[in-house]
């Protein structure tokens, strides 16, 4: 493999520098809970593959801290009046890891290769089946890329910036071997992809010629400066083993812990525990087609019986914060209106139950033990509902069984988490739809369906804000399910690691230093 020979030379170079009395190379050792599936952005990928790709490769644009789309390899872009032609002006001086300059023609080749890949995860967003079809990609000048869509699609940039799409990362043709197979990513990011020992480790090295943007880090964009020379991502599936390695100094960062595991380290002065909310959702779902839960009064009684801030605090071991809106608190669209919620009001529950015609029928809350937060939510919700006079019971299922029942709508209530979405409207899309068309649809109100469809095709701005505001007001009025909080990523690092963060569910390795 070409990569192995290059890595060997690189490692020997570092060793030689140390032997000659040079400054010690800073190495950051980070846990990987499992091996990556692929090194190719967006293709045959999983979440850990995405994390590696986001530190190695970059797209024309990226998701910013507040969920907005911000420039990366492109300095700016314009959109035609009819919304179908996107013209990108490339940033000057950007180079690939092999030293080649970033040109429009290479961007065009990279996009076309990704769109043609059989295992590209996001093909549907760009072929007309889930988003507008791309009809052409052109490079009329060395610093200009033009992408034309078949029809307007206000979500085009946000679809392309998604982590599962690899952020439509731009990679050099040298990423492929001579026979045309993928070899390793030759990107433009602050780290190079140096080595992959399958089942053992992935090694990233600082890209010496990287030119960080000015300003502050901004999501997956902004100022991205590698402060360590080497990042060693060590495959350590067992979390107890990973924590032991952290205590011994063999690992510096464990990027993903359960809240209960993290709570055990909170008071240890040798470690720093951080929780970072993202766009995923922690929910208590209600089946509005169920006879007991079909009335708004009954669903409102359930909501008012729950002390949600306390429930979230206990369920997440003190690390989570309640959020009643499907719009994350960090989003540009989380206005003051989205802080409105259904308040805990157990004294109002009896009248609502009477209005709903409730006669003590059993409500079954499905949950699982795979995700501790789900189980905690179910236990706490059951206790609160019973205290308010609602006959609730827990049914613990294997995760696969609970997921199957969710997909078919075969539940009364379900403690269920949704994964992160790149834009709040995609969170609404996950729950809003016709139950006849999709078994997993939770909220099938015609007005909600109409609002989501409009939001999908409305560009960022005041009109889009108004649509999100109306959706939240409608949610509070109908209470089709209980939105509890945004999910969170919990990490722990040794106290000598400076400025590490897991953002939006992914380990950001730039801007991190080791001061042992």
User: Tens digits of per-residue pLDDT, 64-111?
Assistant: 998 999 999 999 999 999 999 999 999 999 999 999 999 999 999 999
CATH number belonging to the domain at 276-488, selected among 2.60.40.790, 3.10.105.10, 3.40.30.10, 3.40.50.450: 3.10.105.10
Q: Where in the chain is the domain with CATH 3.10.105.10?
A: 276-488
pLDDT at site 114 = 97
Q: Any idea of the CA torsion for 418, 423, 429, 431, to the nearest 10 degrees?
A: 30
Residue 82: which residues within 8 A CB-CB, separation 6 or more?
Answer: 152
Does 3 score more than 70 pLDDT? no
Which whole-number Å values give the CA distances from 50 to 185, 231, 414, in the listed order?
A: 12, 16, 29
Q: What angle do CA 407, 370, 202 make, to 5 degrees?
A: 100
Task: Give the pair of three-digit tokens for residue 410.
Answer: 């075969």
The pLDDT of residue 333 is 97
Q: What percent of the chain has pLDDT over 90?
A: 88
Is the pLDDT at 6 greater than 60, yes or no?
Answer: no
Q: What's the CA gap between 466 and 415, in Å, rounded?
A: 30
pLDDT band, very low/low/confident/very high, at 11 (cuts 50, 70, 90): very low
The per-residue pLDDT for range 21-49, each reduced to its tens digit, is: 445 679 999 999 999 999 999 999 989 99
CB 226 within 8 A of CB 191: yes
Percent of the chain at pLDDT above 70? 95
Classify residue 432 as exposed, middle or buried by CB count within 10 Å of its CB (0-12, 13-18, 19+): buried
**What are the two backbone dihedrals, phi and then psi, of residue 196, each rounded to the nearest 5 degrees?**
-140, 110
Would you call 92 exposed, middle or buried from its count of C-beta atoms within 10 A (0-12, 13-18, 19+)? exposed
Mean pLDDT for the stretch of residues 113-138:
96
Confidence of residue 63 (pLDDT cuts 50, 70, 90): very high
What residue has token string 């420039």? 71
Write out the H or E segment, with its range, that includes residue 275. Answer: strand 271-286
Phi, psi (5° rounding) for residue 17? -65, -40
Residues with Cβ within 8 Å of residue 216, at least 6 apart in sequence: 222, 223
Please say whether the beta carbons of 351 and 486 come within 8 A: no
pLDDT for position 9: 43
**Main-chain phi, psi angles of 239, to 5 degrees:** -70, -35
**What are phi and psi for residue 91, nearest 5 degrees?**
-70, 140
For the four alpha carbons of 509, 510, 512 and 513, in that order, the dihedral sign comes to positive
| Fold classified for 2-252+496-514 | D-Maltodextrin-Binding Protein; domain 2 (3.40.190)
Exposed (0-12), middle (13-18) or buried (19+): which is 435, by Cβ within 10 Å? middle
Q: Does the pLDDT of residue 17 top 80, yes or no?
A: no
Pinpoint the residues of the chain covered by CATH 3.40.190.10.
2-252+496-514
Show the tokens assigned to 227: 């402060």
Q: What is the pLDDT of residue 24?
A: 64
Contacts of 231 (CB under 8 A, 6+ apart): 27, 28, 30, 55, 191, 203, 204, 205, 509
Give the residue among 456, 453, 448, 414 at the shortest CA–CA distance from 432. 448
What pLDDT is recorded for position 59?
Answer: 98
Residue 436 half-sphere exposure, CB side, CA atoms within 13 Å?
2
Query: For the ranges 53-57, 194-198, 272-276, 383-387, which has the lowest average pLDDT?
Result: 272-276
Neighbours of 49 (CB within 10 A): 23
Q: Choose the weakest-confidence range: 257-266, 370-379, 431-440, 484-493.
A: 257-266
Sequence-distant (6+) residues with CB within 8 A of 476 are: 324, 340, 341, 342
Instruction: Note the pLDDT tens digit of each residue in 171-195.
Output: 999 999 999 999 999 999 999 999 9
- Number of other CB atoms surrounding residue 243 within 10 Å: 21
> Is the pLDDT confidence value at 335 over 60?
yes
Choose between 333 and 7: higher pLDDT: 333
DSSP SS3 for 17: helix
Question: What does residue 386 show for φ and ψ, rounded to 5 degrees?
Answer: -65, -40
pLDDT, one tens digit per residue, over 304-329 is 999 999 999 999 999 999 999 999 99
The DSSP bridge partners found for residue 77 are 88
Give the contacts of 191 (CB within 8 A, at least 6 positions apart): 55, 56, 204, 205, 206, 207, 226, 231, 509, 510
Greater confidence (502 vs 170) lies with 170
Residue 505 is given by DSSP the state T
What local confidence, expressed as pLDDT, does residue 422 receive?
82
**What rounded mean pLDDT belongs to the chain?**
94
DSSP letters of 128-162?
SSSSPPEEEEEEEETTEEEEEESS--TTHHHHHH-
């Amino acid at each position: 493999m070409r990569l192995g020979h290059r890595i060997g030379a690189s490692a020997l170079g570092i060793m030689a520098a140390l032997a000659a009395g040079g400054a010690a190379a800073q190495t950051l050792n980070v846990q990987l809970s499992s091996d990556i599936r692929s090194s190719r952005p967006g293709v045959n990928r999983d979440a850990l593959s995405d994390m590696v790709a986001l530190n190695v490769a970059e797209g024309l644009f990226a998701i910013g801290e507040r969920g907005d789309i911000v420039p990366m390899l492109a300095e700016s872009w314009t959109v035609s009046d009819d919304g179908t032609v996107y013209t990108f002006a490339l940033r000057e001086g950007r180079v690939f890891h092999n030293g080649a300059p970033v040109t429009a023609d290479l961007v065009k080749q990279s996009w076309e290769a990704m769109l043609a890949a059989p295992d590209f995860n996001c093909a549907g967003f760009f072929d007309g089946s889930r988003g507008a079809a791309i009809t052409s990609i052109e490079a009329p000048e060395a610093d200009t890329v033009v992408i034309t869509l078949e029809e307007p699609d206000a979500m085009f940039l946000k679809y392309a910036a998604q982590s599962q799409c690899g952020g439509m990362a731009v990679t050099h043709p040298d990423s492929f071997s001579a026979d045309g197979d993928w070899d390793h990513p030759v990107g433009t990011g602050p780290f190079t992809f140096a080595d992959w020992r399958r089942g053992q480790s992935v090694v990233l090295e600082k890209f010496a010629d990287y030119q960080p943007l000015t300003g502050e880090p901004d999501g997956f964009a902004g100022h991205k400066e590698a402060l360590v020379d080497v990042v060693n991502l060590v495959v350590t599936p067992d979390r107890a083993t990973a924590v032991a390695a952290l205590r011994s100094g063999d690992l510096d960062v464990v990027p993903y812990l359960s809240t209960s595991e993290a709570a055990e380290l909170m008071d240890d002065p040798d470690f720093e525990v951080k929780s970072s909310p993202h766009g995923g959702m922690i929910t208590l779902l209600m089946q509005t087609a169920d006879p007991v839960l079909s009335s708004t009064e009954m669903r409102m009684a359930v909501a008012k019986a729950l002390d949600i801030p306390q429930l979230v605090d206990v369920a997440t071991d003190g690390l989570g914060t309640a959020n009643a809106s499907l719009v994350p608190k960090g989003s540009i669209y989380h206005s003051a209106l989205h802080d409105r919620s259904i308040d805990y009001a157990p004294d109002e529950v009896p009248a609502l139950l009477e209005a709903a015609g409730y006669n003590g029928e059993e409500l079954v809350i499905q949950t699982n033990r795979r995700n501790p937060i789900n189980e905690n939510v179910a236990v706490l919700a059951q206790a609160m509902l019973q205290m308010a006079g609602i006959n609730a019971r827990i049914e613990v299922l294997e995760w696969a069984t609970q997921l199957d029942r969710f997909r078919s709508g075969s539940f009364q209530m379900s403690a269920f988490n949704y994964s992160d979405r790149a834009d709040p409207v995609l969170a609404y899309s996950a729950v809003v739809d016709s139950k006849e068309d999709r078994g997993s649809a939770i909220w099938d109100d015609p007005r909600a369906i109409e609002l989501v469809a409009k939001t999908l095709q409305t560009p960022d701005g005041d009109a889009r804000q108004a649509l999100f505001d109306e959706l939240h007001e409608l949610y509070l009025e109908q209470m089709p399910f209980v939105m509890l909080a945004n999910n969170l990523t919990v990490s722990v690092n040794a106290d000598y690691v400076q400025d590490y963060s897991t953002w939006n569910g992914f380990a950001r390795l730039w801007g991190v230093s080791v001061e042992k």
